[in-house]
Amino acid sequence: MELCETGSLEDFLKSNRPNFVNWVKYGKLEKPKNSSIEISEQKTLITTLDLLKWTKDIANGLEYVHSKQVIHGDLAVRNILLSSDLSAKISDFGLSRQILNCSNYVKKTKVRL
């Protein structure tokens, strides 16, 4: 199992919320004209490009899980871990189910999804 020392994406986003820079303006992705953003060395600057990268990482991970015919069962931001290079990794497969020879998953119990 790989060590993801950065922790969960949820905790990372919460702790770095003041350091978010939104690059989306009027529906286009563009860098702010004032590029002299001051930030302390201990904090990490998060941009819209980082959010898009994590979205792509998660989508690629789910595509792999789908190719193995598995339903994750508990996909949430708390179950996404960040590696040291800030790549998103899907974790916590405790509620996952493998679907074999079946194109549709049918829920038969009355538990919350």
Q: Where are the domains of the chain?
A: 1-21+43-102
Nearest Cα neighbor of 24 from 44, 52, 56 is: 52
Q: What is d(CA 79, CA 30) in angstroms, rounded to the nearest whole number?
A: 30
Fold of 1-21+43-102: Transferase(Phosphotransferase); domain 1 (1.10.510)
Active site residue 74: yes
pTM above 0.75?
Answer: no
Using 50, 70 and 90 to split pLDDT, how confident is the model at 37? low
Checking if the pLDDT of 8 tops 60, the result is yes
Active-site residue, from 11, 50, 57, 74: 74
Dihedral (CA of 37, 40, 43, 44) sign: positive
| Residue 68: pLDDT over 60 | yes
Sign of torsion over alpha carbons 31, 32, 34, 38: negative
Mean pLDDT rounded to a whole number for the chain = 79
